[in-house]
Structure 1
Amino acid sequence: MLSAAHRLAAIDPRWSRDCFLDALEMGLVVGRANGVMDTVLAEARSAPPADEPDVLDALVLLTGSGHQAAAPLLRRVLTERALWTRRPALATMIAGELWDLDAHAEITRWLRTTGRNTGSPWLLRLGLAQEAVAATHRGELATAATLVGEEEAIADAFSDAPTAYARVHLLAWRGELGPLDSALSDAGARGKGQLVANIHWAKSVLYNARGDYPAALAEARAAVDAGDLYLAGMALPEQIEAAVRCGEDAADALAELCARSSASGTAWARGVTACARALVSGAEDDYVEAVEAGSPAPYRARAHLLYGEWLRRAGRRKDARTQLRTAHESFADMGVLGFAQRAADELKATGEVARSRSADAFETLTAQEAHIARLVSTGATSKEVAARLFLSPRTVDAHLRNVFRKLGIHSRRDLRQR
């Protein structure tokens, strides 16, 4: 694609620019984005100029001049429907780079609707996977699991590999290390650098939750160093927390995060940055800002956790209990079990025992079983579920038998009641 871009430069400038963007989009779609963006954009600096600044110009500006310079143009091109229709993977990544969940949600709704209306499995799967990632970061883990299950069911129907990064994000917040290790080995063997970077980020979240800060620091640095759109910025808060806990300097990472978040201006970006700044500064005002910023639920709960830990170490046990209790209850209700345990341990250190959370048999279902169970519980027939998931009715019935066995029920009526 890069060769074509250069050969077309003098013949058809617009087509030449499209080839540069095709190379970027291809790297995202096949999961080999690591290094691809830098290579493409370095060569794209010599691309023929566009009639007016476009997404290629925005990305070249981002890599050359940074987020403050590029953010206005990135926000403008993100509102253009043409970017969604022609380069949907790139559009979702830019929304993530700007920490903009609202824009991301609008794009994913369009992807799912268009995918269903046109019968495009690829658009539908991309929309499902991206919406699953967004649901995970909103703390809606059950919804995310359902969306992951549907994407994997459609992939299976076409004998294709699932879009693994959505499940990786879910595993990170659930605190499941074993599957992440297996996924890392498989992604490395297949040369999927972007998925490898996603897994490094996921493991940094998980290790921070467990308090294994040296391991978290190594994983976060690996994710940041990959330099991928969206993911490098997401990994910076993990690197900062781990570095501070390890007694290492986090000033440069904080400066980079601040540059990114101030260019974004969203509540999510402000809250995450306030949390990171509080860890570095140790200032109570920063912890208060992090709690009050209006970040998505897991990040708000994490702000309560960090504030509670700081208060406990300052000898303010009563104030600490309030923050830690809020953190524990929020994490437990979301199913963010690693951080829930960390909050429970901190709460115990203040002299209070966290309420226990009883296990739900529904959590033993696979993502695909859970999705089929939810569809059937709304009254959908096996034939209707099969059509939606590109499966055979016989396969749906087989999954349904597993659901009944795991939940200890015997009929669709029992499932609706459950």
Structure 2
Amino acid sequence: MAGEGWPRVGFPLLLRLGLGQKIIDAVMIGDIGQAIAATAEEAAIAAAAGVPPLAHHRLHLAAQRGRREEFRELAQKAENAPPSAGQVTNLHATTATLNNGLADYPAALAAARRATEHDDIFLTGSALPELIEAAVACDDHAAATEALASLTERTQASGTTTGRGVAAYARGLVTGIEHHFQEAIELLAEGRLIPHLGRAHLLYGQWLRRERRRRDCRRHLHTVHELLSKAGNEGFARRAAMELRATGEKVRSRSEQHHEKLTMQEVAVARLVASGATSNEVASRLFISKRTVDAHLRNIFRKLGLTSRRQLKDDPDLLVHDRFE
């Protein structure tokens, strides 16, 4: 059996934890292909070690992509595992993100409340903007105001540009003051975190539409639709499309991206080959046979309309930021 004799802790676990962090980072900079490929790689290492794949990053990825059924399956498995306070908080925080993306605000508010119960330093902070957005949508001004005070305290202490930007759009939601949305976009545009920048444009666009400023709102909604569609944040991208249609605007159907045409393991194979890996190197890294790699490549070529490895290397959708070693 592949991986037989490996310890259940140590190097394989550290590698998987590193891949988990890589997945979160990739999602937050809008490289959905890298996030999916790294998820497949972590699952391959876990299978070789004879342990279940990690749940945290998979929940985060499914929530950001707006994949309700996939998220439910993962959440059920997470709930059946031995619980810890951090895992429970993560489950509720990602549930809140998923439901805000799907515009199911009561469910998002309930999940965000549970995510903030344990006051985890990191996960509670990430859940507070979700709580504020859901509370405002549910007309629970008291909950939104209380959460904003907590978020403001945390972001002022951290002093990061991203934290200040997120707090600014949350403040705009609570106060209805336009300057806060503008400040959020200005701050978040300085960084690389596409989902946060997209959310700022989305919330400002929604506010502008409710102020009957259609021309202004369309500009921001088109921006967020393009940003988040490309980044794989499908739920929030659909929200932008709904807002655009509410203004009477037609939303152009976008072309299907590679990560939507390929399976998770095919994405991993395609990106490794695009980075210069041979079939043997891919097989070793993903703990599969060379024959399986070649079968995946045939499917990849067919689905993408390609005929050679060179075309994979030249495909901008498969651009990798870390070359295969």
Q: Is 1:317 aligned with 2:211?
A: no
- How far the C-alpha of 1:229 sits from its partner, in A, is 3.7
- Greater RCO, 1 or 2 (C-alpha within 8 Å, sep 6+): 2
- How far the C-alpha of 1:402 sits from its partner, in A, is 4.3
Other structure's SS at 1:225 match: coil
8 A contact 1:362–1:407 mirrored in 2: no
8 A contact 1:157–1:391 mirrored in 2: no
Instruction: Give distance in 2, aligned partners of 1:139 and 1:360.
Output: 13
Instruction: Give distance in 1, aligned partners of 2:22 and 2:313.
Output: 25
Q: Is 1:178 aligned with 2:69?
A: yes
TM-score (normalizing by structure 1): 0.67
Match of residue 350 from structure 1? 247
8 A contact 2:33–2:259 mirrored in 1: no
Larger deviation: 175-184 or 199-208?
A: 199-208
- How far the C-alpha of 1:343 sits from its partner, in A, is 0.7
8 A contact 1:180–1:199 mirrored in 2: no
Going from structure 1 to structure 2, the CA distance change for 1:166 and 1:287 (only over 3 Å counts) comes to: same
| Cα offsets for 1:237-281 (capped at 9, x unmatched) | 000110111011211111111111111111110011011111111
Unaligned runs of 5+ in 2: 1-7, 316-325
2:214 is aligned with what amino acid?
R
Going from structure 1 to structure 2, the CA distance change for 1:263 and 1:353 (only over 3 Å counts) comes to: same
Match of residue 273 from structure 2? 376
Going from structure 1 to structure 2, the CA distance change for 1:226 and 1:397 (only over 3 Å counts) comes to: farther
Q: Is 1:134 aligned with 2:25?
A: yes
Going from structure 1 to structure 2, the CA distance change for 1:187 and 1:226 (only over 3 Å counts) comes to: farther
Larger deviation: 195-204 or 339-348?
A: 195-204
- How far the C-alpha of 1:139 sits from its partner, in A, is 2.0
- How far the C-alpha of 1:177 sits from its partner, in A, is 0.7
8 A contact 2:59–2:75 mirrored in 1: no
Larger deviation: 337-346 or 152-161?
A: 152-161
Match of residue 275 from structure 1? 169
- How far the C-alpha of 1:355 sits from its partner, in A, is 2.5
Larger deviation: 196-205 or 255-264?
A: 196-205
8 A contact 1:152–1:368 mirrored in 2: no
8 A contact 2:208–2:217 mirrored in 1: yes
1:278 is aligned with what amino acid?
G
| Cα offsets for 1:266-322 (capped at 9, x unmatched) | 111001101111111111111111111125211111111111111111121111111
- How far the C-alpha of 1:150 sits from its partner, in A, is 1.7
Instruction: Give distance in 1, aligned partners of 2:103 and 2:295.
Output: 41
Pairing partner for 1:260 from 151, 154, 158: 154
Match of residue 228 from structure 1? 120
Unaligned runs of 5+ in 1: 1-29, 31-118
Instruction: Give distance in 2, aligned partners of 1:351 and 1:185.
Output: 40
8 A contact 2:27–2:231 mirrored in 1: no
8 A contact 1:328–1:354 mirrored in 2: no
Instruction: Give distance in 1, aligned partners of 2:198 and 2:249.
Output: 18
1:130 is aligned with what amino acid?
Q
Q: Is 1:144 aligned with 2:62?
A: no
The number of residues matched between the two structures is 301
Other structure's SS at 1:322 match: helix
Instruction: Give distance in 2, aligned partners of 1:333 and 1:349.
Output: 22
Other structure's SS at 2:172 match: helix
8 A contact 1:365–1:406 mirrored in 2: yes
1:242 is aligned with what amino acid?
A
Pairing partner for 1:287 from 175, 181, 204: 181
Match of residue 322 from structure 2? none
Q: Radius of gyration: which is bigger? A: 1
Larger deviation: 361-370 or 217-226?
A: 361-370
8 A contact 1:383–1:393 mirrored in 2: yes
Instruction: Give distance in 2, aligned partners of 1:413 and 1:362.
Output: 19
1:366 is aligned with what amino acid?
T
Pairing partner for 1:202 from 73, 79, 94: 94
1:243 is aligned with what amino acid?
A
Instruction: Give distance in 1, aligned partners of 2:194 and 2:306.
Output: 33
TM-score (normalizing by structure 2): 0.85
Instruction: Give distance in 2, aligned partners of 1:346 and 1:174.
Output: 18
2:110 is aligned with what amino acid?
A
Match of residue 205 from structure 2? 308
Instruction: Give distance in 1, aligned partners of 2:30 and 2:157.
Output: 24
